[in-house]
Amino acid sequence: MSRELLQNVRVLDPVSGSDRIADILIAEGDIKAVEEKIAEFPADTEVRDCRGLILGPGLTDIYSHSGEPGFEDRETLESLMQAAAAGGFTRVAILPDTSPPVDNLAGLALLQQHIRNLSPGLPRLYYWGALTAGVKGQQMAELGELASCQVVGFADGLPLSNPALVRRLLEYIQPLGKSVALWPCDRTLAGKGAAREGAVSVRLGLPGIPASAETSALAVILELVASAGTPVHIMRVSTARSVELIRDAKARGLPVTASVTWMHLLLNVGAISGNSQDSGGKNALTASLPYDPNLRLEPPLGNLSDQLALIQAVKDGVIDAIAIDHNPHTYEEKTVAFADSPPGAIGLELALPLLWHGLVETGDFSALELWRVLSTRPAVCLGQTPATVAPGASAELILFDPQMSWTVDGSSLKSRSANTPWLGQQLAGKVVQSWIY
């Protein structure tokens, strides 16, 4: 393996809480030294001046969707992993809603077979086992067998409408020692809504989804966690009231963690109108067409008050991590009326640069705070040891240039799909190198 010396690089290490300019020596897949100045090194070392660049541990995505197997026209595992690598992710956990779903040993074996065919050097891929058979929310999947076969945890990635089933699931999973991720959403209350209920949705003529569709389901989940004592990760938090409920639950000592998806921190329902006034000035989109189907998300983008509450909750640690929830769809699937569009957008290649410029450069987050909720805390939520930038540690690192300019289009995206509201826009910020050993 080659030796590399990165000089004058800004090193972010959330594990130690360090943000400093330093030299770092990498050799044989390990970090050999991190010092203010490394003057002595082997003669065959490749030396690079990295002024203006940022080095940090690789990012971790708690949950995203893969098209393969079953929907390879949307995304293959190879293109998914290439997109993740391009975005700085060195660990990615995918949800079980493939075809067939990962709800039994046969489905898991098929996925593992696909993984073995991936190119070397790509991010580490993890997979959630389904909570219910067929990811249909009606009866338990083969949880015991899946738990013995390397699933990172259990999640359907869809709402579970039967509280009695959720209670049985939590009781059954507790001794298995695996993570459980639940998405709080009451489909009855959500109805056929397409946008967060409020003044903007009324003005746009879009059926609204009330915040109570999330908060009522969340309240039920938290009561069941209090009863069963099983640790649970709350997925896709999107409302200010949910933040209050989770803050209270943690204060009471309930074993819960939570995540918000990256677009809910950068955008609110006002982005759908294409009118910056509707967004209250808190909108990372430089341009947007009204009713862009790529802004049709699940859960829907919140109101401005929700967005501000979510940002503060991440800073405070009430929400533990930022998830990407990369959800590819084909051009044909998305080129329909807003309310008829399948919800979801890609994000693995876009999240870091857009969050950096939308939150760090605006002063909402420090650089270390952003890196922590994209790398260290997501790994902890998955029950993993987070990567660190320290002598003796394995080199699981990324090098990020926050000023490198690039255009979001089919030639630059590694993802097979391009369903993003930033399509055609020029962004600043690019991962220029990854180390994964």
Summarised one tens digit per residue, pLDDT across range 64-104 is 999 999 999 999 999 999 999 999 999 999 999 999 999 99
Residue 284 pLDDT level (bands cut at 50, 70, 90): low
Cβ pair 108, 128 in contact under 8 A = no
Report the C-alpha gap between 170 and 179 in whole angstroms. 10
| Per annotation, catalytic residue among 30, 325, 364, 401 | 325
| pLDDT value at residue 362 | 94
Name the percent of the chain lying above pLDDT 70: 98
The pTM of this model reads: 0.96
Mean pLDDT score, 108-116: 86
User: Going by DSSP bridges, is the β-strand pair 18-27/3-13 parallel, antiparallel, or unpaired?
Assistant: antiparallel
Report the C-alpha gap between 85 and 419 in whole angstroms. 18
Chain segment 30-68, per-residue pLDDT in tens? 999 999 999 999 999 999 999 999 999 999 999 999 999
**Among 180, 186, 192, residue whose Cα is nearest residue 146:** 180
**Among 213, 217, 209, residue whose Cα is nearest residue 246:** 217
**What interhelical angle do 304-316 and 240-251 show, nearest 10?**
30
Mean pLDDT score, 384-395: 97
Sheet strands (E) in 38-104: 46-49, 54-57, 59-64, 89-94
| pLDDT value at residue 114 | 83
Chain segment 122-139, per-residue pLDDT in tens? 999 999 999 999 999 999
Lowest pLDDT segment from 108-122, 193-207, 259-273? 108-122
Mean pLDDT score, 325-339: 96
- Is pLDDT larger for residue 121 or for residue 331? 331
| pLDDT value at residue 150 | 84
Cβ pair 283, 354 in contact under 8 A = no
**What interhelical angle do 212-228 and 240-251 show, nearest 10?**
10
Report the C-alpha gap between 198 and 210 in whole angstroms. 8
205 pLDDT more than 70? yes
Alpha-helical (H) ranges within 229-281 are: 240-251, 262-266
Active site residue 44: no
277 pLDDT more than 90? no
Tokens 């946008």 correspond to 195
| pLDDT value at residue 1 | 55
Q: For the chain, give the mean pLDDT.
A: 95
Report the C-alpha gap between 225 and 366 in whole angstroms. 33
Chain segment 135-161, per-residue pLDDT in tens? 999 999 999 999 998 899 999 999 999
368 pLDDT more than 80? yes
6 pLDDT more than 90? yes
Report the C-alpha gap between 414 and 62 in whole angstroms. 20
212 pLDDT more than 70? yes
